Amino acid sequence: MARLSTRISVRWGDEPASEPTTTLVMGVGGYFMDLRVNKSDKTVDWAFAGRRETVSETPLHCRWHHIIDSRNAFAPDEGSFVALPNGDSLETGSMPCPERGGAVTPYEEVWRTLSTGRERGWILQRDDGDDAEATVTAAATAKTTAFLGRVGSEFFAMVQTRGGGPLSVQREALETVDGGKQNWVVKFRDGEAPLPSLAAAGLLAFPGEASWTEGDEVDIQGALYTVRALEPGT
């Protein structure tokens, strides 16, 4: 099932819980994209994407493999989940804490699932720079990895040089304006690399999107992406 979730709070060690970011995570099948933006100055706190592995179902324990990461933190991280009485989820684990110089620290995060209306969801991946037709996500000699994702009315695009380096990210949201017309609107942008955009193209969906299946190679504004995960919606 395609999922959208937002973080309600984070607690490091015995510190009080707080939420310094606006965090939105999309998950489709075994893939995810995660964008965390600092509330104070609207900069990227953390942006990453990759593959989610379910280590155990009861209790739920997951491991996230970071294929791209704005912090260049590519070691997998993992956490366990329990349901809270109000329907939120409590994630616990240990990972490097930026505020503590990267020291591995126990953490607690509270997550809330957002309604997606059971709409279509997908995540695409492109490894660029190995062919002569790379036109969108990289300069001619660069080797980059890009992820695109859509769940419901949210769209993410991320691209990073393979092996680490600056990450460019854009978030767009599908909004209804006066007269009932829908348009994609850019809600956040960081980085200099060009990124595919529904908003800039004036599209509601990418051409052929309704017929995609997992494993397909699809053309997104001049570059080929692989459909890594897809939920058809209802």
So what's the pLDDT on residue 163? 84
So what's the pLDDT on residue 208? 94
CB atoms within 10 A of CB 199: 17
Beta strands in 87-166 (DSSP E): 89-97, 103-114, 121-128, 144-151, 154-161
* Residue 137 in this model has a pLDDT that exceeds 60: no
Averaged pLDDT, 50-77: 95
Summarised one tens digit per residue, pLDDT across range 144-188 is 999 999 999 999 999 999 888 999 999 999 999 878 899 999 999
CA atoms within 13 A of residue 158's CA, in its CB half-sphere: 30
So what's the pLDDT on residue 179? 80
d(CA 118, CA 45): 29
Cα-to-chain-centroid distance, residue 70:
12
Average pLDDT, the chain: 92
So what's the pLDDT on residue 128? 82
pLDDT confidence band for 134 (50 / 70 / 90): very low
So what's the pLDDT on residue 136? 46
So what's the pLDDT on residue 94? 95
pLDDT confidence band for 65 (50 / 70 / 90): very high
Question: Is residue 58 helix, strand or coil?
Answer: coil
So what's the pLDDT on residue 234? 57
Percent of the chain surpassing pLDDT 90: 83
User: What stretch of H or E contains 76?
Assistant: none
So what's the pLDDT on residue 132? 41
* Residue 201 in this model has a pLDDT that exceeds 80: yes
* Residue 142 in this model has a pLDDT that exceeds 80: no
Domains contained in the chain, CATH given: 3-114 (2.40.128.320), 121-231 (2.40.128)
* Residue 199 in this model has a pLDDT that exceeds 90: yes
CB atoms within 10 A of CB 104: 11
CA atoms within 13 A of residue 184's CA, in its CB half-sphere: 22
So what's the pLDDT on residue 130? 52
